[in-house]
Amino acid sequence: MSDDHGHRVLAPGTIRFCPLCGAPLAPEAVPPDQREQQVCTRCRFVFYLNPKVVAATLPVRDGTVLLTRRSISPGRGLWTFPGGFVDYGEAVTDAAVRETLEETGLEVDLTGLHNVYSYPGAPVIVVYTARVVGGTLTPCAENDALEWVAPEAIPWDRLAFP
């Protein structure tokens, strides 16, 4: 299955076998709310297809915010803020700081929660405001440009994940 941008995504029914025992999964109403979930026909494991969590930052400096231009899909050539998936066992705040360092070379302190974005069938995106406390602005393999932008100059029509 693909999203509106042609990217392959997981959807109910795309996972057909139990990740624990390998037996087939089948749709079944699951208590207490009787919502349909994929249930293992052998071990009865319920496979809940939950959204991934993305942690991101809006680094702020002198009234500008840092944007990165993606050099990989999805969103190649489009702008976004530093961020990425939260690893298993990692705090969302730690992931935001880690992803910012990986993608920009900057060390940041989180200064507040900017917003949480949640759309059906998409990752939940947790965005923090941040201030730069160290490091050197350096692109990585995932981006080919980093730019400090005034809020009124944000290229809204060229954002990867609006």
Residues 94 and 139 grouped into a single domain: yes
Tell me the residue range of the domain where 109 lies: 53-158
Q: Domain check: are 146 and 70 in the same one?
A: yes
**3-state SS, residue 101:** helix
Closest CA to 13 of 1, 30, 21, 29: 1
pLDDT in tens, 68-112: 999 999 899 999 999 999 999 999 999 999 999 999 999 999 999
Most distant CA pair in the chain: distance in Å? 59
DSSP state of 8: B
Q: What is the pLDDT of residue 3?
A: 53
The two structure tokens encoding residue 80:
């976004």
In a shared domain, residues 103 and 84? yes
Domain match, 146 and 79 both: yes
142 burial (CB, 10 Å; 0-12 / 13-18 / 19+) is middle
Structure-token match 């490091």, residue found: 135
CA 135 – CA 151 distance, rounded (Å): 23
**One-letter amino acid identity for 51?**
P
**11 plus 59 within the same structural domain:** no
Residue 5 has pLDDT above 60, yes or no: no
Q: What is the pLDDT of residue 2?
A: 53
Q: Which residue has the higher pLDDT, 15 or 12?
A: 15
Q: Are residues 45 and 59 in the same domain?
A: no
Same domain, 69 and 9: no
As for how many domains the chain has, the answer is 2
DSSP category for residue 71: S
131, 76: one domain: yes
Would the pLDDT of 4 be above 80?
no
Q: What is the CATH number of the domain that holds 67?
A: 3.90.79.10
Distances (CA, A) of 128 to 9, 16, 161: 26, 36, 16
Judgement on whether residues 83 and 14 belong to the same structural domain of the protein: no
pLDDT(146) > 80: yes
For residue 27, what are its two tokens?
A: 């749709």
Q: How confident is the model at residue 28 (pLDDT cuts 50, 70, 90)?
A: very high
18 and 75 inside one domain? no
Q: What is the mean pLDDT of the chain?
A: 93
Q: What is the mean pLDDT of residues 25-31?
A: 96
pLDDT, average across residues 33-43: 96
Do 35 and 93 fall within a single domain?
no
In a 10 Å sphere around its CB, with 0-12 CB exposed, 13-18 middle and 19+ buried, how is residue 90 labelled?
middle
Model pTM? Answer: 0.85
